[in-house]
Structure 1
Amino acid sequence: MNKTVNINLANILFHIDEEAFIKLQHYLEAIRRSFSGTPGSDEIIADIEARIAELFQEKMENDRQVITMKEVEAVIAVMGQPEDYMVDEDIFEDVPRAEKTRPGRIKRLYRDTDNKYIGGVCAGLEYYLGIDKLWIRLLFLLLAVFTGFGFIAYILLWILVPEAKTTSQKLDMTGEPVNISNIERKVKEGFEDVSERVKNVDYEKVGTKVKNGTRSFFDSLGDLILFVFKVIGKFIGILLIIIGATALIGLFIGMFTVGIADIIHIPGVDFFDMLNSTVAPFWLVSLMIFLAFGIPFFFLLYLGLKILVNNLNSMGRVAKFSLLGLWLISLITLMVLGIQQASSHAFSSSSSTMEELFTMNSPDTLQIQMRSNELYDRNAQRMGIDRMKMIYDEAGDPLLYSDDVQFNLKVSEDSLFRIHVRKDADGNSVPDARSRAEAIQYSYEQKDGLLLLDDHLVTDPSNKVRDQEVTAVLYIPEGTVVRLDRSTQGHIGRGTRYDRDFYRNKMIGQHWQMKADGELQCLDCPEEELPAGKEDGENNRISIDNEGIDIKIKDETDSFELKINEEGVRMRTNEL
């Protein structure tokens, strides 16, 4: 059973074995005696203790671990004995040294505040990358002016890269071993001179190794391969930083502008209200989108910085798990809102009305015209969703406006004119869809031989965009002549049958007579000119061109017609 004691080394508490404590105590006393009377001895000893505490922390697996003789001897081997580093050792530069050369430490990125202009980022990168800080500053300046990325990158490095405060950290910044000798030199000779001497020593070591042939071909090849992989890793890190930073900037600008637009009701944001079937406001949805996509891109940026910076400050478990929790919450929220939005179109229903119109003498002609609203056409938004736009009525109240209106012409069973209006809409249930369909406002008007049909429908914004549409079927008696006004273009439905081979829009301006079989016969249409490539006989023809497929076969007993075009498939057979 061994006795342990608690010590405070550089303001850090350690549990240490008694024998190891005695050896460490003797070692520190020897260092104090070695530097007694030396200028700056107190700072040298404080930096040495801080370095020893850092080495102890690297070897500890948990806070309750006891420092043993093994750890103390390992630390002493790294730091060296005081007698090995006499102040006047430079007098014996020509005498061969018996001590073994220790390998250099890997450079760590710190901010050099001793040579800073703003935050010391560029001065620290000079030692880490081996590039003059002037060129690094110019690069940041160019990126900041032309892309804005330089400013963001500098701010992030300023926040995440620690400052080189202690002597140990300043030596780490240059990759110089932190031992008694270098700490002494740092305090006495100044940081810039020591860093320059360290570089010179490094070059001398490399040159000596090359000249003496101590490195084999395979060692050089291995170093080359390792260097290539490091370069690739750094390139990947830079790429991740660029992707992450660009995405975060774009998401932030999008969230900020959209959120502000929603709060102050800038025109155009109404589109979201037209579609949104949930109670979530637009700013909340934009925030959830920012968190759901921004947090992964932030970790991508952080990963790139970790690849480039060896000693980057850790975010900590609390921050990591907090961001993970926010990401999961935003993802789940968006999934719930997406399911609610999709369910709003799960069912369709309709509302229908049938009304008798008027009687008319057969020689008279029925004029059909579409009626528009000048106020709605003037202030309707240019952009819409699913043919639905936002408008404002005479009182300034908002309305949803759509031109998804069609009409069909069919034969009446008697001598009365009738109109059947069907309003369709979607909803998250059949009753919900039916209520939205019933809320559609649509009207028409008859004036003797003129029938005026609205070319639009309107509904309250609370009904949202739910595929609202209106289909009117006009039943007219046999023999009635119909003339379609130019305003009906685009509103003639596919259920209208006629005896011509052209598209429905060409029916405008002609006179059509309703036949007993429900087909309209053109009374004043010009003779059809067959396009090139059609085979025409007296009773048969087959036509395949850019307008579709048209087949007509007729003999003495029956006839067959097939027409396939953009309006659909039309087939008819008759016995003669």
Structure 2
Amino acid sequence: MNKTVNINLANTLFHIDDDAYNKLRRYLESIKRSFAGTKGSDEIIADIEARIAELFLEKMENERQVITHKEVDQVIDVMGQPEDYMVDEDIFEDDPKRTHAEPSPKAKKLYRDIDHKYIGGVCAGLEHYLGLDALWIRIIFLLLAVFTSGFGLIAYILLWILVPEAATTSQKLDMRGEPVNISNIERKVKEGFDDVADKVKNVDYEKVGNKVKSSSKTFFDTIGDIILFLFKVFGKFIGILLIIIGASTLIGLFFGLFTVGMFDAVHFPGVDFYEIVNTTGAPVWVVSILLFFAVGIPFFFVLYLGLKILVNNLKSIGNIAKFSLLGLWLISVGALIALGIRQAAEFSNTGSVHEQDQLVLENVTDTLVIRMKNPGYEYTRDDIHFGRMSFAYDKDDNRVLISDEVHINVKKAEDSVVSLSIRKDSNGSSSRTARDRAKNITYGYELLGNEIILDEYLITDISNKARNQEVTTTIHIPEGSMVRFEESTRYHIGRGIANDKDYYRSSIVGHIWLMGKDGELKCQDCLDEDNDEERNGNGKIIINEDGIDIDIKDAQDSFEMKINEDGIKVKAGN
């Protein structure tokens, strides 16, 4: 059982074994004696104690751990003995004499160099970390800020926030990749004094560790180093890729939030699209903020992960910030899900209303002509679409919703009267809501002589939103009556109109049809494919692997044309 004591080292509380404490105390006293009478000795001692505290913290697994002889010995091995690291004026000669082994090179850590800063010291710190002049780094940030919509500015601000500043002597040595021991701490402090500055600046301390240990490496050690280097390069590439992805997404979201969502400074089609489909009552700026947090927070952590990969000592944003962002993300995602469910409910039910009229034709024996009314002179359509629904303006410049989701069907009438039925459909959160929305659809027709002129578009107020509104017009024709569909109906013919030619939808257009007894339309002017030769004066058209053979003959003259691999042959005669 050993006695422990509490010590305050660099304003940090440690629990230390009594024997280890005595050894550490003797070690620090010997260091103080070594620097007695030296300018800046108090600052040197303070930095040494701060470095020892950092080493203790790195070796401790928890705050209640007791420091023993083992940890003290390890710290002394790192820091060195005072007599081994005397940096006095007599060592700053052309050939400095050293009695200790040359330390191995140390990896640099990224800090903000506040001693040479213009704004936040980011570029000056990157100069030490990358080995690139700070002037070029500042130019790169400036070009990125100008030509990438502010990416350089955002990257600089993030580095300013996340990268710690080199405040202590040990941090400044870490920033330069120099070992943090008594010798370098003393040297760094002395560099601040004018009487030794001129002597220190000519000493090249970066010669330490430049010799390659090639003689002691085996072949497999070399292969391992190469593989490790490739993994490090790949990791840095992944880090850069994550930074680009995260930063680009955040910039786009930030720009969209404050231009479209908040102020509507830029007119984007998506805003009008939102107005067509939205029935949740949530303003576009609220949805924009929710989307910004729901999408932006994950990409912020993508950016942060990329920085962690590239910067070894990147300052943590803290657990409070992490959990706050997580909570904000969960709230945003939950709110968007709730709005999405409410929005989806608007399409869960379909409601229909029916209207039916009898038509009085001027001459029941004439062919019934069906065509569409072209409203192009009455309505001006926008390019904003949700399905086939879009915004439009009437002749009084009132904004409405307009759709060409209009279909035409033909059926056999039960009596000798032509009648017309109109079915209006719409979606809604309930059947009643859907029916009410269907009732609000405006759709009409007119009868001129034997022409039924149908509206090409259905109209509804913008308050009804886009809810798959459509209109189906069914025309009931008596048996034996003739009907013809004009070209304007081509894209509105409904499915399933029975006819003896099995024509599908638009193919019905342009022909004259007779309503049969079985409710099937009989074509009156369609060519009989089996009798094409008789109808064309025994002429023929043959298309096969030999080419195209056109032969037209009648009682008075003949015409023949052949097209094949030999060319074109034309023959005409009386």
Q: Normalising to structure 2: TM-score of the pair?
A: 0.81
With over 3 angstroms needed to count, the CA separation of the structure-2 counterparts of 1:95 and 1:342, relative to structure 1, is: closer
Matched with 1:244 is 246
Please give the alpha-carbon distance, in whole angstroms, between the structure 1 residues aligned to 2:29 and 2:8.
16
With over 3 angstroms needed to count, the CA separation of the structure-2 counterparts of 1:84 and 1:443, relative to structure 1, is: same
- Which deviations, in whole Å up to 9, do the C-alpha atoms of 1:349-388 show, x marking residues without a partner? 322222222254333443433234456522x212311110
Matched with 1:62 is 62
- Which deviations, in whole Å up to 9, do the C-alpha atoms of 1:406-459 show, x marking residues without a partner? 222323222222111111222334333333323322222334434332221122
Deviation of residue 172 (structure 1)? 0.7
Please give the alpha-carbon distance, in whole angstroms, between the structure 1 residues aligned to 2:442 and 2:221.
84
Secondary structure at 2:385's aligned position in 1? coil
Please give the alpha-carbon distance, in whole angstroms, between the structure 1 residues aligned to 2:106 and 2:168.
17
Matched with 1:286 is 288
Matched with 2:460 is 459
> What letter is aligned with 2:10?
A
With over 3 angstroms needed to count, the CA separation of the structure-2 counterparts of 1:479 and 1:218, relative to structure 1, is: closer
Matched with 1:333 is 335
Matched with 1:555 is none
- Which deviations, in whole Å up to 9, do the C-alpha atoms of 1:308-361 show, x marking residues without a partner? 111000111111122222222333333333333333323333222222222543
Check conservation: 1:186, 1:194, Cα contact below 8 A: no
With over 3 angstroms needed to count, the CA separation of the structure-2 counterparts of 1:531 and 1:506, relative to structure 1, is: farther
Mapping of residues 335-374 of structure 1, within 5 Å: 335-358=337-360, 360-374=362-376
Identity between Structure 1 and Structure 2 (%): 58
With over 3 angstroms needed to count, the CA separation of the structure-2 counterparts of 1:112 and 1:501, relative to structure 1, is: same
Check conservation: 1:174, 1:195, Cα contact below 8 A: no
Check conservation: 2:379, 2:395, Cα contact below 8 A: no
With over 3 angstroms needed to count, the CA separation of the structure-2 counterparts of 1:498 and 1:377, relative to structure 1, is: farther
Please give the alpha-carbon distance, in whole angstroms, between the structure 1 residues aligned to 2:471 and 2:242.
52
With over 3 angstroms needed to count, the CA separation of the structure-2 counterparts of 1:457 and 1:30, relative to structure 1, is: same
Please give the alpha-carbon distance, in whole angstroms, between the structure 2 residues aligned to 1:268 and 1:113.
46
Please give the alpha-carbon distance, in whole angstroms, between the structure 1 residues aligned to 2:403 and 2:438.
13
> What letter is aligned with 1:83?
E
Please give the alpha-carbon distance, in whole angstroms, between the structure 2 residues aligned to 1:262 and 1:428.
30
Deviation of residue 185 (structure 1)? 0.9
Please give the alpha-carbon distance, in whole angstroms, between the structure 2 residues aligned to 1:396 and 1:156.
49
Tell me if 1:31 matches 2:36: no
With over 3 angstroms needed to count, the CA separation of the structure-2 counterparts of 1:132 and 1:100, relative to structure 1, is: same
Deviation of residue 392 (structure 1)? 4.0
> What letter is aligned with 1:182?
N
With over 3 angstroms needed to count, the CA separation of the structure-2 counterparts of 1:323 and 1:217, relative to structure 1, is: same
> What letter is aligned with 1:362?
V
With over 3 angstroms needed to count, the CA separation of the structure-2 counterparts of 1:365 and 1:196, relative to structure 1, is: farther
Please give the alpha-carbon distance, in whole angstroms, between the structure 2 residues aligned to 1:56 and 1:322.
31
Secondary structure at 1:472's aligned position in 2? strand
> What letter is aligned with 1:72?
V
With over 3 angstroms needed to count, the CA separation of the structure-2 counterparts of 1:487 and 1:214, relative to structure 1, is: closer
Secondary structure at 2:383's aligned position in 1? coil
Check conservation: 1:359, 1:415, Cα contact below 8 A: no
With over 3 angstroms needed to count, the CA separation of the structure-2 counterparts of 1:268 and 1:114, relative to structure 1, is: closer
Deviation of residue 181 (structure 1)? 1.1
Deviation of residue 262 (structure 1)? 5.7
Matched with 2:206 is 199
With over 3 angstroms needed to count, the CA separation of the structure-2 counterparts of 1:97 and 1:405, relative to structure 1, is: closer
Mapping of residues 66-81 of structure 1, within 5 Å: 66-81=66-81
Check conservation: 1:362, 1:479, Cα contact below 8 A: no
Check conservation: 1:365, 1:482, Cα contact below 8 A: yes
Moved more, 186-195 or 265-274: 186-195
Deviation of residue 404 (structure 1)? 1.0
Of residues 255, 260, 280, the one that matches 2:262 is 260
With over 3 angstroms needed to count, the CA separation of the structure-2 counterparts of 1:531 and 1:27, relative to structure 1, is: farther
Matched with 2:432 is 431
Check conservation: 1:375, 1:393, Cα contact below 8 A: no
Matched with 1:107 is 108
Check conservation: 1:437, 1:468, Cα contact below 8 A: yes
> What letter is aligned with 2:76?
I
With over 3 angstroms needed to count, the CA separation of the structure-2 counterparts of 1:340 and 1:236, relative to structure 1, is: same
Check conservation: 1:446, 1:452, Cα contact below 8 A: yes
Check conservation: 2:391, 2:400, Cα contact below 8 A: yes
Matched with 1:480 is 481
- Which deviations, in whole Å up to 9, do the C-alpha atoms of 1:139-194 show, x marking residues without a partner? 44554444454443333222221121211111111221111111111122369957
Please give the alpha-carbon distance, in whole angstroms, between the structure 1 residues aligned to 2:203 and 2:335.
57
Please give the alpha-carbon distance, in whole angstroms, between the structure 2 residues aligned to 1:373 and 1:304.
57
Matched with 1:90 is 91
Check conservation: 1:349, 1:426, Cα contact below 8 A: yes
Matched with 1:309 is 311
Of residues 268, 271, 274, the one that matches 1:272 is 274
Deviation of residue 88 (structure 1)? 5.2
Check conservation: 1:251, 1:290, Cα contact below 8 A: yes
With over 3 angstroms needed to count, the CA separation of the structure-2 counterparts of 1:25 and 1:469, relative to structure 1, is: same
Please give the alpha-carbon distance, in whole angstroms, between the structure 1 residues aligned to 2:135 and 2:434.
68
Matched with 2:325 is 323
Check conservation: 1:111, 1:123, Cα contact below 8 A: yes
With over 3 angstroms needed to count, the CA separation of the structure-2 counterparts of 1:234 and 1:386, relative to structure 1, is: same
Unaligned residue ranges in structure 1 (runs of 5+)? 537-542, 546-576
Tell me if 1:165 matches 2:172: no
Please give the alpha-carbon distance, in whole angstroms, between the structure 1 residues aligned to 2:477 and 2:222.
96
Secondary structure at 2:326's aligned position in 1? helix
Tell me if 1:518 matches 2:515: no
Moved more, 52-61 or 64-73: 64-73
Deviation of residue 200 (structure 1)? 1.7
> What letter is aligned with 1:49?
E
Deviation of residue 39 (structure 1)? 1.7
Matched with 1:420 is 421
> What letter is aligned with 2:57?
Q
Deviation of residue 528 (structure 1)? 6.0
Please give the alpha-carbon distance, in whole angstroms, between the structure 2 residues aligned to 1:184 and 1:50.
13
Tell me if 1:494 matches 2:479: no
Please give the alpha-carbon distance, in whole angstroms, between the structure 1 residues aligned to 2:517 and 2:528.
24
With over 3 angstroms needed to count, the CA separation of the structure-2 counterparts of 1:63 and 1:396, relative to structure 1, is: farther
Check conservation: 2:272, 2:384, Cα contact below 8 A: no
> What letter is aligned with 1:449?
N
> What letter is aligned with 2:205?
V
With over 3 angstroms needed to count, the CA separation of the structure-2 counterparts of 1:531 and 1:276, relative to structure 1, is: farther
Deviation of residue 109 (structure 1)? 1.0
Check conservation: 2:102, 2:208, Cα contact below 8 A: no
Please give the alpha-carbon distance, in whole angstroms, between the structure 1 residues aligned to 2:217 and 2:531.
86
Deviation of residue 219 (structure 1)? 3.6
Please give the alpha-carbon distance, in whole angstroms, between the structure 2 residues aligned to 1:360 and 1:288.
62
Please give the alpha-carbon distance, in whole angstroms, between the structure 2 residues aligned to 1:65 and 1:531.
104
> What letter is aligned with 1:77?
D
Matched with 1:562 is none
Deviation of residue 246 (structure 1)? 1.8
Mapping of residues 373-412 of structure 1, within 5 Å: 373-374=375-376, 376-378=378-380, 380-393=381-394, 397-412=398-413
Please give the alpha-carbon distance, in whole angstroms, between the structure 1 residues aligned to 2:363 and 2:104.
111
Matched with 1:440 is 441
Please give the alpha-carbon distance, in whole angstroms, between the structure 1 residues aligned to 2:202 and 2:463.
71
The number of equivalent residue pairs is 532
Matched with 2:235 is 233
Secondary structure at 2:491's aligned position in 1? coil
